[in-house]
Structure 1
């Protein structure tokens, strides 16, 4: 590669980094709101479960969507949290319906965020590079 090609590649990489930072700024606002709304809908019916679910979802969504950590690791954290929360919320007994509602909803949205993030980056990069009429 000659110097001009390297310079062009570095310019494209810098532009990609700026686009990813722009998506990060949007997700830093959107993900906590989504976590709050989902936690209110799918948490177990007590205040500590709701607060814990908001915190856990916000952290998991942040790590998968913004920090781009491995989705499988955070899916495991979500499952363990939902098991513990279910056992504490129902005084040692296991409520399968509540577990399915809480864990299933959280995992679905975690996977959507984890899988969708690269597509959002590509979409923004493509939409900003095509000339507009």
Structure 2
């Protein structure tokens, strides 16, 4: 049984798609996210770096009182509690009207992630992501896009 669990973990890790910084820049530079003039492409790349290290198949857990509260999906770690439906999170708001699996892509197609992130930013700004506030807000971020345009 232990071998099966280890093999499963290795298969998931092997299938994960971690983009380069410049691949993320390329996906975002002409996207809907550039319509938010208060945020630069570098802000979004910084967010993706701190949320998922550019891993398009990243899954994270939020806990509350020691129990799983919600699951976060994709390169921007979009929450199943508020923004998508994973079929497991009770009382999901599903603010983006999407399945959380839509954010789990093994390529550079980040359209679903971008569309939902735009909806989140429109409603709450990038402050919706604590990692952006802690690591990117008000920081010099130009190096996130250097040599990528």
Bigger share in strand: 2
Which of these two proteins has the greater Rg computed from alpha carbons? 1
TM-score normalised by the chain length of structure 2: 0.34
TM-score, normalised on structure 1?
0.37
Structure with the higher helix share, 1 or 2? 1
